[in-house]
Structure 1
């Protein structure tokens, strides 16, 4: 009974954290919608989004460090940067690029459909280029890595065992893919594969900053 109650609380907490992130992205969508219709209203939505980002970051940081202090058998934390780790991170970035290039080739050959959310994102960037780019490159990687890697592992797969590690990476990536498409489709597997690389990065380096950096590089490459 205690285990069920504890897991229920964790699921509830994760849903609330996810809802906060999604609500924040909705503010950006409203700002984009009114960018060419009502600049004043769009600016207010951007202001509300930035305030909410600051609040979410403080909340995420506090909860994450609180979780690690309570139970941290994998010794997640801050690992020093050195050339060996940086070279490994660059190789993982190359792996993410290879996945995207392979997927784009399948789309070019009409074997797979173009991701609908990518088309929507391109449209949003055209309407409100600066803030959509800032959000996609700088803000989203931090919030998504805290949510899908930091909290997810510590909430549901905190034990340092092969089973916990493998399933933690798999389910974290799958959830990451689903929330980028909001449906189960072949495109979900594309985003899930990127999520698996990011989750593996967090687990390998045991430092959330590495998966954030990898996510940042990937999103920056996408908008260049």
Structure 2
């Protein structure tokens, strides 16, 4: 199989996995839309979202583990949580927090606009508080880490070399930022910066559970 064909298949597979996640999030958007108008219909969308989220999680986990069994030069896997590693994880979180605080100061001083993604999320939380907060804090981090760290590196930057690691971090962060803004703007750099920290944590800890935990802490901080 030629290199171009392999890459095309990988891009197609990544897009399909991304579509599965986006479709799941759309179900929550519909539930939010009908929350104050048609409660039974909103409940049905929530039920569909939860069932499909469970199915997607099973698929992501199975495929990710299958990929690592086939080719895993970085020795990615499950590494025990201990006091030292938790301390290091908190240092990564402090770095993400510094990015958020610095960006918020630029917004407060009217040097940058409020991210439209955050404004939309705030509106959804007001309409359907529990499920939007639960999704943003507990479900989205898992799916996004599998997509933008796990699958992305396995598909496109699987070699354990300095060039592959650096390019993988940069590109995954940019894609992460773009998909949060759906445009190229200065706000894209904000989300890309968070993506770069998450990608760095993924490669540093060699365990996707750590980047998921870091993403969870970041999103939790954003909604409290």
* TM-score greater than 0.5 by the shorter chain: yes
Aligned partners of 1:4, 1:27: CA distance in 2, in Å?
Answer: 35
CA-CA distance at 1:7 after TM superposition = 1.0
- Check if 1:60 corresponds to 2:60: yes
Partner of 1:142: 142
Aligned partners of 1:117, 1:73: CA distance in 2, in Å?
Answer: 36
Aligned partners of 1:6, 1:55: CA distance in 2, in Å?
Answer: 27
Partner of 2:170: 170
1:76-91 matched pairs, under 5 angstroms = 76-91=76-91
Aligned partners of 2:157, 2:105: CA distance in 1, in Å?
Answer: 35
Partner of 2:201: 201
Aligned partners of 1:156, 1:2: CA distance in 2, in Å?
Answer: 15
1:74-107 deviations in Å (ceiling 9; x for gaps): 0000011111110000011111111010001011
| Structure 1 unaligned residues grouped into runs of 5+ | none
- Check if 1:28 corresponds to 2:24: no
Aligned partners of 1:61, 1:4: CA distance in 2, in Å?
Answer: 27
Partner of 2:127: 127
Aligned partners of 2:211, 2:133: CA distance in 1, in Å?
Answer: 19
Aligned partners of 1:94, 1:162: CA distance in 2, in Å?
Answer: 25
Number of residue equivalences: 224
CA-CA distance at 1:184 after TM superposition = 0.5
CA-CA distance at 1:8 after TM superposition = 1.1
Aligned partners of 1:48, 1:92: CA distance in 2, in Å?
Answer: 35
Aligned partners of 2:3, 2:66: CA distance in 1, in Å?
Answer: 20
Runs of 4+ in 1 over 2 A off after TM superposition: none
CA-CA distance at 1:4 after TM superposition = 1.4
Q: Helix, strand or coil: the match of 1:58?
A: helix
- Check if 1:45 corresponds to 2:39: no
CA-CA distance at 1:5 after TM superposition = 1.5
Aligned partners of 2:167, 2:213: CA distance in 1, in Å?
Answer: 23
Aligned partners of 1:161, 1:176: CA distance in 2, in Å?
Answer: 22
1:134-186 deviations in Å (ceiling 9; x for gaps): 10000000000001000000000000111100000001111100010000000
Q: Helix, strand or coil: the match of 1:67?
A: helix
Aligned partners of 1:182, 1:99: CA distance in 2, in Å?
Answer: 20
Partner of 2:17: 17
Aligned partners of 1:162, 1:36: CA distance in 2, in Å?
Answer: 52
Aligned partners of 2:132, 2:82: CA distance in 1, in Å?
Answer: 32
Partner of 2:151: 151
Q: Helix, strand or coil: the match of 1:169?
A: helix
1:45-88 deviations in Å (ceiling 9; x for gaps): 00110011011001000110010011100000001111111000
